[in-house]
Every structure is written in C-alpha cells, then in structure tokens.
Amino acid sequence: MLQSCDTMQPQTNGTNGTMSSSILITGGAGYIGSHTVAVLLEASTPHELVVVDNLSNAHREQGQKKPESLRIVEELTGKNIHFYDADIRDAEKLSEIFNKHNIECVIHFAALKAVGESVDKPLEYYQVNISGTCTLFDVMRKHGVYKLVYSSSCTVYGEPRKLPIDEAHPTGLGLTSPYGKSKYFCEEIMKDICRSDPKWTVVSLRYFNPVGAHLSGRIGEDPAGTPNNLMPYISQVAVGRLPELQVFGNNYQTSDGTGVRDYIHVVDLAAGHERAVRLLQQPGASGFHAVNLGTGVGYSVLQMIKAFEEASGRKIPYKIVGRRPGDISENYADVSLSHRLLGWRATRTLEDMCRDTWRWQSAHPNGFKS
C-alpha cells in the first residue's frame, strides 16, 4: 500500500466529517513545481497540497522522507505537504493517491524538459511526457476529476512567424525538438478531451523561460547533471562549479548574433499557476484555454551574461560553439491574454532574476546536496 511521506492524515471538515479538498501537483518537487507549492501555501490556499514526484530531477537527503525542496518549503511556510514518491506512468499508484485524497484539481508539471536532450532521447521523452500524461488523464477521469492546469511551453509555436508570439500563433508547425512536439501533442489530446466531454476544464500555460529563485534563497533551480538551460549554467560557472559557459551560436539574426529569449522569474510564473487554479474554480468554467506566461521582453545570451556579472560581481568566462539542435533564434511573448483572463502579469525584472538566482546559488554551490 502506498504511504504518504508525512505524519498527518488528510484533514476532515469538522462540520460533516468529509475530507478537505486537495490539489494534486505532479512533479511538484522540481524547480517550477516547488516554487508553485510555496506560492500556493503563502497565498493560504484552502486546499491541502498533494505532491507526486519520482525524484528524477529532485534531491532527497539520506534518511529524509521528503525531497529537500519540499522540506524547505514546509519550513518556510509552516504548513504540511503530502508527498508521494511515484511515477505518473504508474496508474495503480496514482489511483491509490486519488482514493486517499479528495482531489479537486490537478497541476501537471511532471515531464522531461530539456530541448537538446530530447533530440538525443526522443523515445524517453514521448514515454514520459505523452504516455505518462495520458495515464494521468485516465486516472483523473475514473475518479471524476476534470480540472487541470497543464505545464506547457512556448516551444509548441516552433520557429516564430511573428513577434511577439500570441496564443493565436499556429502551433505544431516546424517544431524543432521532441520536447516541443510532446507538449504540442499533449495539448492536442487535451483539446480532444475537452471537446468530447464538457465537464473538462484545462488551462494550458505556455511558459517562456523560467529563471530566478525564491526570495529566501533557500530553494532554486538544481538540475541533475550538467544544466541544459542558460541561467543555471551561468550561475554554476559563477560559483566555480563549471569552468566556462558554452554559447550555442553567434550567427543568429539578432542584435548581437546570440539567441534571444523571454525570461520570466519563477515566482511570477508560480503566481500564474495560482491564478489559473482560481480560473478553474469559477462557475461555468469549461473547455481548453491556452495562455502565455512571459514578460513580453526578449534578452540575448550575451545580455544575460552581462546582467548576471553585474548581479554577482563575478566574471563569466564563455566560448562560442556551434548551434544546438532544436534551438531557434528568437522568441518572446504577447502576454495580453494572461492579463485579461487570469488578471496576472510578471512584475520582477531581469535584475531581480539574476540577483535571486545568485542568492540561491552562492548559498548552495552544490544545490540541495549537503
């Protein structure tokens, strides 16, 4: 029998003895997931939080029941999190969790997420990101849970036809990586599910490029192995964990030849999920909704290096290498829909992103590992 890694049983409503409603968060021990858990608890959500994670990209200290990210979030908030070490492809374990908790909605982060790695390991990405997601949806349906916030990506747009990219931009055309394809395929599956049954409500949040860390400096991005994303790579170079940064290409059609991306602070991104959960709870909410989460501003790789040097006071050595398979030259978001539909906008600056990343990395040169 699957056991929750906490000392508390699901709380009951004292007036009628029924279980408190819960939000299930898959992949909730990871970078974006743990920050979203923190934001939900800091916002005093009335729901219990139930996290499922197979720890493929999260660290748990020997002898601890919960991964470090969630253990620290509990310390920061003074609130409990129900945690299960489980894989979303395991329907039997997922069903046990649904049976134990009164789950009202799901925030689905669990996925493999590195664009470059997905080119080398496409089968693994399709197995986890598509097969695992379908297993989750099937278990949700069997337990009468039809509300979902999905962790999608701006990679579903492929090479931009126009900038900034809004939600009406075509998706699925010219996709450059199995990662992006897996997110696109999952969105198409969710659209079909919503068409087939009006009970479903899905908010698919298309992230641009999450960076930064919690203001406390106690949780942040801690990728397993060599980082695949720019900001953790820069920060690990700054702290001396890696010798130099590789810049993948300097011959793009951009201001300085390096790739341009829309970077968003992870706490702003997490707040977008809290707003999406509110949308799910509105009377009459139904159907599939895709929403960009970004800032609407693009920065090049060289601009990011300079900003991080200023925030950290450290020189970032780098060398230019060939382009990376699956990368595109430039993208940044039109975020007007997120303002209208969610009442949300990013408020943190590039300076905030670099400063908060450095606060986390300088205090934790080896990430969560003690």
CA 349, chain centre distance (Å) = 19
Q: Which of 268, 274, 156 is nearest to 214 (CA)?
A: 268
Question: Is the bond preceding residue 170 a cis peptide, omega within 30 degrees?
Answer: no
pLDDT above 90: residue 181: yes
* pLDDT tens per residue, range 66-100: 999 999 999 999 999 999 999 999 999 999 999 99
* pLDDT tens per residue, range 219-259: 999 998 889 899 999 999 999 999 999 999 999 999 999 99
Q: How many domains does one find in the chain?
A: 1
Q: Is residue 1 situated within a structural domain?
A: no
Q: What is the pLDDT of residue 82?
A: 98
Mean pLDDT computed over every residue of the chain: 94
Q: What is the pLDDT of residue 163?
A: 96
Q: Is residue 303 situated within a structural domain?
A: yes
Q: What is the pLDDT of residue 224?
A: 83
Look at residue 12 and give its three-state secondary structure: strand
Q: What is the pLDDT of residue 326?
A: 75
Q: Is residue 141 situated within a structural domain?
A: yes
281 vs 183 pLDDT, higher one: 183
Contact 77, 41 (CB under 8 A): yes
Q: What is the pLDDT of residue 313?
A: 97
Q: What is the pLDDT of residue 324?
A: 84
| Cα dihedral 338, 295, 46, 19 sign | positive
Q: Is residue 220 situated within a structural domain?
A: yes
User: What percent of the chain is modeled with pLDDT above 90?
Assistant: 86
> What is the 8-class DSSP label of residue 11?
P
Q: Is residue 3 situated within a structural domain?
A: no
What is the residue-wise DSSP string for 221-270?
---SSS-SSHHHHHHHHHTTSSS-EEEE-S-SSSSSSS-EE-EEEHHHHH
Q: What is the pLDDT of residue 20?
A: 86
The pLDDT-based confidence of 8 (bands split at 50, 70, 90) is very low
Q: Which of 179, 167, 203 is nearest to 292 (CA)?
A: 167
How many C-beta neighbours within 10 Å does residue 168 have? 10
Contact 354, 311 (CB under 8 A): yes
pLDDT above 60: residue 349: yes
Q: Is residue 12 situated within a structural domain?
A: no
The pLDDT-based confidence of 13 (bands split at 50, 70, 90) is very low
The pLDDT-based confidence of 3 (bands split at 50, 70, 90) is low
The CATH code of the domain that includes 213 is 3.40.50.720
Q: What is the pLDDT of residue 176?
A: 83
Q: Is residue 182 situated within a structural domain?
A: yes
Residues 277-304 have a mean pLDDT of: 95
Q: What is the pLDDT of residue 346?
A: 98
How many C-beta neighbours within 10 Å does residue 360 have? 23
- Over its C-alpha atoms, the chain yields an Rg (Å, rounded) of 20
Q: What is the pLDDT of residue 9?
A: 42
Enumerate the active-site residues: 179
* Domain extent for 208: 21-363
* pLDDT tens per residue, range 318-344: 999 999 887 889 999 999 999 999 999
Q: Is residue 16 situated within a structural domain?
A: no
